[in-house]
Structure 1
Amino acid sequence: MNQQTSKALLKHPPTFAWTLYDWANSAFATTVMAGFFPVFFKQYWSAGVEVTESTFRLGMANSLASILVVCMAPFLGALADQAGAKKKFLLFFAAMGIVMTGSLYLVSMGNWVMALVLYCLGMLGFMGGNIFYDSLLVSVTQKQHYDRVSAYGYAFGYLGGGLLFTFNVLMTLYPGAFGLADAAQAVRLSFISVAVWWGLFSLPLFLLVEEPTGPKQQKGWFSASLRQLLETFASLRSLRMTFLFLLAYWCYIDGVDTIVRMAVDFGLSIGFDANNLMVALLITQFVGFPAALVFASIAARRGAKQGIMIAIFIYLLILLWAYHMESVWEFYTLAIAIGLVQGGIQALSRSLYARLIPHNQAAEFFGFYNMLGKFAAVLGPFIMGWVGVLTGSTRISILSVGILFILGGVLLSMVDVKAGEKAAQEMD
């Protein structure tokens, strides 16, 4: 795709508004999930607790939120399709995430239970909203542009999340310059800033992106949704390539999500300074912005499947390096490497899946997509925390993630994309 076409896509108001939601909610993924919450949880809300114990608690919180999404996602997707209410469901979950994130400001020192409750609900809003956000991809652009537009979403997410995270890191490093008492107050205020950012930049999507037109139930949504859900389970038998891709995605995205959620905790556990880890996360964000677009170019030349396979291979190298890591400069180098592949594997997975599903059931099928992705995240943080407790070594626990990338790569190699696209089109 040439530069002129790319600019034309971003000038299309619904497409641009859709990408801005990634800009909006990525502030939660960056500042809260990957950045300040793991640090603040370990040093402020779990002060005096063994590092392996706090890691276990954090892993359990991530797993619990993921289990809730697993249980709800397919049915909510079916209900949104039947009711024509993707935006309404997105609004509900986004509002939940925004309110819970802002409420973290109120949690006092040592109150790790309340911190985890609000964090879980915030993640539920973040992950639940993404079911409906992802499904709107098929409504804002044409199939030949899925890779590029999906990559734009992740690219803008990295940039927007990185910009706010930069501001928040500066507040924690130099609280006096912002009129704050200390770094703890700065971190607490960062949760407020995420809530405001998320809410403000979500508005264009709700104003400019229209619901897909088509038949929808005027009543009996609940029973119709259950019937559709059962029919989709049955139809997955005929959509063999779609089902195989979901299994592959289930495996490798677990590794991706586990690294995102546990990287800072891992660095703290092996003795790195929190400020150095925040700088590393900033590096990941700003490298991720152009890297997501580079992976879109790879997909244009070699296909989304090959782009994902390249990213999986790089992740395996990253895990091997992390096991032997000793110095902060190595953590910085790993941050660059992760930034090069993280946005790419996420963007191409979303766009490849969009090709393999019937578009008139997009929300429901993306419910399955998010269900499997988050069910995998139930296992990853749990395994990493459990292996750490069992062995007493966080270094050994990081290697357990590698098997998920290997399984995902093997399964993905078996997916015939053209056959999957043909089968999905026949069901539309």
Structure 2
Amino acid sequence: MDRQTVRAWVMYDWANSAFATTMMAAVLPIFYSDVAASTLPNEQMATSYWGMTQSIAMLIVAVLTPILGAIADYSGFKVLFLRLFSYLGILASLCFVFVGNGDYLLASFLFILGTIGFSGGNAFYDALLNDLVEPDKRDFISSKGFAFGYIGGGVLLVVNLMLIQNYSWFGLPDSLTGTYISFASVAVWWYMFSLPLFRRVKDKKTGPRHKLGEYTAIGFSRIWSTFKRIKQYPELLKYLIAYWFFNDGISTIITMATIYGKEIGLGTSHLIAALVITQFVGIPFTLLFGKIAERLGSKLSLYISLGIYVLIVIFGYFMTETWQFYALAFIVGMVQGGSQSIARSIYSRLVPSDRPAEFFGFLSVSSKFSAIVGPFVFSVVGLATGSSRLGILALVVFFIVGIVLLAKVNLQKGALEAEAAQA
């Protein structure tokens, strides 16, 4: 294992997490509501349009994922495609400096392109792990990349918060200028910290080349094959359906929290600061939930985190004060990473040990399709009722259904089914 090459791989997570924090979660949703969608009749409509944008972006990513996975597995162009998708996301982020009042369609279009660049690049970034790191080191290096992503995205978000909230410190005329610089900073940050990977890692020829149509057929045939095979594991199938529900609720909260807070009257600087809290609180509490899972069992610890999410959604419905949003941000930070890591760990025990990549690939694709539903429901309920509070309350259904279905899963039996099928 080449340490410098692995360090370059880890730094890419540091690089592109700037898009996840500033563009997906914090600054852009507020900008979309205040500026891009400022000509819409009301903020509730802006919130719903942002939810629709999220759903469209995830739909396109979900369709592309199996194709990109096939290209990553069967071509020798992982770095090339990673570079191309990264540049797409970088360029989309930079182009937000041209979005003005009322340009919500342009903003939605650019965000969709940025999301494709971010998620598409990750397909090839993840695939490089097998090429660069031996099997017994992959868990540690993968976790290290995840941690660096948390820190890198959080650091730039803090800088952007200062640019927006304390713009006069930097000689800027107003917070909007600070916001535009924040968008540009994402592009610069992503590009600069990607360079070590692009310079150190080169593509290797891996076999015959295929046409795009052939890659498409390979990708979707693999997904269909796994879907048919998964019926051999009843407990895994039940868990997967439960996962689709509660994971959709979690991802919708991540993507819609900021613009929802903006709509109900919370200040921009407070919203971003609260998300910074979520980012850094998540690091120690993710590790803590791992310890809780060891003590109480993974299923019970997942129940605890999902139960807290139900309370978060209900409290979010009644939220009116800034301090309440800070409190919710802290609580979300407590359970966000823990719930996702425990859910992934449970899934790993239910899949056959000789086919983990196949089943985790299916989880990735299927969860992206399911993630379309949450923002869509949020938006439709908001548009139909004229209240995004009811849209956020509707997410309770995702968590309750997920918890009920999870209760029907026998983890011990599922692990035995995986072992028996492998044998």
TM bracket (short chain): 0.7 to 0.9
- Partner residue of 2:47? 55
Q: Deviations over 1:27-46 (max 9, x none)?
A: 11111111111111111112
Structure 1 residue 324: Cα displacement:
2.0
Does the 8 A contact of 1:52 with 1:385 survive in 2? no
Match of 1:235 among 211, 229, 233: 229
Give the drift of 1:108: 3.0
One-letter code aligned to 1:96: L
Q: Displacement of 1:285 after TM fit?
A: 1.3
Match of 1:261 in 2: 255
1:75–1:229 CA contact under 8 A, matched in 2: no
1:15 shift after superposition: 6.3
Label 1:377 to 1:224 Cα distance change in 2 as closer, same or farther (>3 A): closer
CA distance in 2, matches of 1:150, 1:307: 23
Q: Report the CA distance shift for 1:13/1:33 in structure 2 as closer, same or farther (over 3 A).
A: same
Find the counterpart in structure 1 of residue 28 from structure 2.
Answer: 37
Distance in 2, Cα, partners of 1:307 & 1:48? 45
Query: Does the alignment pair 1:130 with 2:122?
Result: yes
1:67 to 2:78 alignment: no
Is 1:374 the counterpart of 2:364 in the alignment? no
Query: Matched residue of 2:38: which SS?
Result: coil
Deviation at 1:19, TM superposition (A): 4.5
Q: Secondary structure at the match of 2:55?
A: helix
How many residues get paired? 416
Aligned pair in 2 of structure 1 residues 79, 248: CA closer, same or farther (>3 Å)? farther
Give the distance between the partners of 2:253 and 2:146, measured in 1 at CA.
17
* Aligned match of 2:380: 386
Task: Work out which of the residue numbers 270, 291, 300 in structure 1 matches 2:285.
Answer: 291
Of residues 309, 330, 335, the one that matches 1:336 is 330
Partner of 2:274: 280
Specify the alignment match of 1:25 in structure 2. Answer: 16
Q: SS in structure 2 opposite 1:236? A: helix
Tell me which residue corresponds to 2:68.
Answer: 76
Question: Which secondary structure does the structure 2 equivalent of 1:48 belong to?
Answer: coil
CA positional deviation for 1:227 = 4.5
TM-score (norm 1): 0.84
Q: Deviations over 1:133-181 (max 9, x none)?
A: 45666774757984x6665444433322111011011011222322323
Tell me which residue corresponds to 1:106: 98
Seen in structure 2, the aligned counterparts of structure 1 residues 126 and 396 have a Cα distance that, compared at 3 Å, is same
Distance 1:309 1:233, change over 3 A: same
The one-letter code of the counterpart of 2:86 is A
- d(CA) in 2 for partners of 1:303, 1:149: 25
Alpha-carbon shift at residue 47 of structure 1 (Å): 1.6
Structure 2 contact 66–219 (Cα < 8 Å) conserved: no
Judge conservation of contact 1:81–1:363 (CA < 8 Å) in 2: no
8 Å contact from structure 2 (residues 260, 388) kept in 1: yes
1:423 aligns to 2:418 (yes or no): yes
Quote the Cα distance in structure 2 between the aligned partners of 1:296 and 1:424.
Answer: 24
Question: Which residue of structure 2 lines up, in the alignment, with residue 5 of structure 1?
Answer: none
Q: 1:227 to 1:323 in 2, by over 3 A?
A: closer
Give 1:347's aligned residue: 341
Return the alpha-carbon distance in structure 1 between the equivalents of residues 58 and 253 of structure 2: 15
Separation in 1 of the partners of 2:70 and 2:403? 29
Whole-angstrom distance in 1 between the partners of 2:360 and 2:76:
15
Matches of 1:246 and 1:40 in 2, distance apart?
A: 35
Distance 1:71 1:196 in 2: 29
Once the two structures are overlaid, the 10-residue window that deviates more, 301-310 or 33-42, is 301-310
Answer yes or no: is the 8 Å Cα contact 1:292–1:341 preserved in 2.
yes
* CA distances 1:263-307 after superposition (whole Å, capped 9, x unpaired): 111112212122221221111112112222223333455555444
Q: Identity of paired residues, percent?
A: 40
CA contact (8 A) 1:143 1:355 kept: no
Residue identity opposite 2:25 in structure 1: A
| Alignment RMSD | 3.4
Deviations 1:47-68 (Å, cap 9, x if unpaired)?
2321121112111110100111
Matches of 1:244 and 1:134 in 2, distance apart?
27
Amino acid at match of 1:109: N
Separation in structure 2 between the aligned mates of residue 203 and residue 353 of structure 1, nearest angstrom: 34
Amino acid at match of 2:39: G
Q: How far does the alpha carbon of each residue in 1:323-381 deviate from its partner, in whole angstroms, 9 at most, with x for none?
A: 22232111111110001111222333445445555688666544432322222221111
Q: Distance in 2 between matches of 1:143 and 1:348?
A: 21
Structure 2 CA distance for aligned equivalents of residues 138 and 419 of structure 1:
27
TM-score by length of 2: 0.85
